[in-house]
Amino acid sequence: MKNTFGNEVTVTLFGESHGPAIGCVIDGLPSGFRIDEEQLKQDMDKRRAVGAISTGRHEADEVQFLSGVKDGVTEGTPLAILIANTNVRSKDYSSLENLARPGHADYTAEMRYHGFQDTRGGGHFSGRLTAPIVAAGSILRQMLAGHGILIATHIASLHGIEDDSFSEGSLKEQMELLNGRAFAVLNESTGEKMQQEIRKAAESLDSVGGILETVVLGMEAGIGEPEFCSAESDLSAAMFSIPAVKGVEFGEGFRFAELYGSQANDAFEIREGKVVTKTNHNGGINGGITNGMPIRFRTVIKPTPSIARKQETVNFRTMENTEIEIHGRHDPAIIHRARAVVDAMTAITLADMLASAHGRQWLKGEE
């Protein structure tokens, strides 16, 4: 079972949704970096369930450092994070035992672990495991910010409702705006329509998905590998490690299929003594290596599979066809919470790539 991500900077996950706690171990951090714990809390809050558009399972998500930190400063040794599960309700899952919930990993987990897996709340497959990812990502994102590397994600669309697009001329201002908003949209009136759509789905015992768009500003040129550890393949692997992600595209992505080469190519020019491209159709990456332009990619988040509507399924122990209705506390949409996880996995991936290029201690930045 592979629960470790990264090469130079690694993050190892542990725990289950209804176990006593979840957490992670970050290895490869530099020594001497002071963690902004207020920023860490703000990032954790972006993932937490709040209000009617999220699950009724409200967890405090308080981050406890078990090792690797002294007086708020990294020691350079493995940093262990623990987050307690304080609001579990396992009885909601007693009627679902041995049933394959459509869209979930119940059947595949049964095939992989032969009945020994913890199925309560999805066990190790639960989105609950994204909480320690956000904690790890927050710390690494703070390190990247010290080098002028900024990350922001917005809900580009939700069930057909589209937000405004990023503007190359005002990216930094838009990114700062998004990082200060609980519901990550550029157009607040569009955001209200999206939230109404989520409430509508909940009332009809259904769920919705959408597309997240991420931008990275300040990434230097020359990071990545031309083949198997390209910037795109590493970021894609990171995104697909997030539950509910079913697609990733960079730059124009699948729209490239509609373009001529003359439309798809990004012309180069010298601007203020730097090599830049006039457009950014390729999303800041050429040949698997960053070119210094903003990295831009989109991530598809599928509708939450736990819905209270009657669905056809099977009992994989008795090998009988049956029906299922999933009740309990579930999100009618997770896209607004997944935004924090995408930001975190982006930070983890870029920190690992930069540590591979410059060494781990480089992440600490200047004194």
In a domain? residue 333: yes
How many domains are contained in the chain?
1
Binding residues for FMN, by number, are: 124-126, 287, 302-306, 329
Q: Which amino acid is at 257?
A: A
pLDDT-derived band at 119, boundaries 50, 70, 90: confident
CATH number of the domain to which 31 belongs = 3.60.150.10
Q: Which residues pair with 21 in a beta bridge?
A: 84
In a domain? residue 134: yes
Q: pLDDT by residue (tens digit) across 166-191?
A: 998 899 999 999 999 999 999 999 99
In a domain? residue 69: yes
In a domain? residue 366: no
In a domain? residue 227: yes
In a domain? residue 188: yes
pLDDT recorded at residue 1: 53
Binding residues, by number, are: 47, 124-126, 287, 302-306, 329
| DSSP letters spanning 267-321 | -EEEETTEEEES--TTTTEETTEE-SSPEEEEEEEPPPS--SS-EEEEETTTTEE
In a domain? residue 339: yes
Give the structural domain span for 65. 4-358
Binding residues for NADP(+), by number, are: 47
pTM given for the model:
0.93
In a domain? residue 110: yes
Mean pLDDT of 141-167: 97
